[in-house]
Amino acid sequence: MTRKQKRLAVIAGGMSFIIAAVLLVMFAFGQAVAYFYVPGDLATANVPPGTRIRLGGLVETGSVTRGEGSTVTFTVTDTIGTVPVTYTGILPDLFREGQGVVAEGAFVAGSPVFVADTVLAKHDETYMPKDVADRLKAQGVELSGKETVK
């Protein structure tokens, strides 16, 4: 190979790696990204079963019930809509009724119940997931306690 060809080969190799990376990122954005919803959105949003989403809102007071083993069911509300959620595992330390929560998971076909595999209520006693706080404020819900991180 001449010098010029060698150089071209190197540049082509580098470019193809970058193109592969770009395609991969685009593919991953289609696959591995979860949209955020509050219960009120779901009536109109029409989320197909099996699609991973994040569901945010407040844990409805009095809705937490413990089932078999470590399965917990509770209701997430944004005062406009409510969604029943079931979760198996250990709830975070700061999970409390009346407090903000984000559940990640999917709906199962033929059932209104949201099956969560991750529940977040993290890090700080005054923490309100930002997404939840924004949406609830936009809907005029009075938040109990401080809603910002100190």
Q: Which residues would be at the binding site for other proteins (CB under 8 A)? A: 3, 6-7, 9-10, 13-14, 17-18, 20-21, 24-25, 27-29, 31-36, 54, 66, 69-70, 88-91, 93-94, 104, 122-125, 127, 129-131, 148-150
Nearest approach in angstroms of CB 133 to other proteins is 9
Whose structure tokens read 């970058």?
18
Q: Which residue's CB is nearer to other proteins, number 49 or number 93?
A: 93
Q: Which residue's CB is nearer to other proteins, number 25 or number 113?
A: 25
> 86 vs 52, 65, 69, 125, CA distance in Å?
15, 10, 13, 23
130, two tokens: 């930002």
Task: Give 133's contacts (C-beta < 8 A, 6+ positions apart).
Answer: 100, 143, 147, 148
Nearest approach in angstroms of CB 56 to other proteins is 9
Task: List the one residue out of 131, 111, 143 whose CA is nearest residue 34.
Answer: 131
Q: Which residue's CB is nearer to other proteins, number 24 or number 108?
A: 24
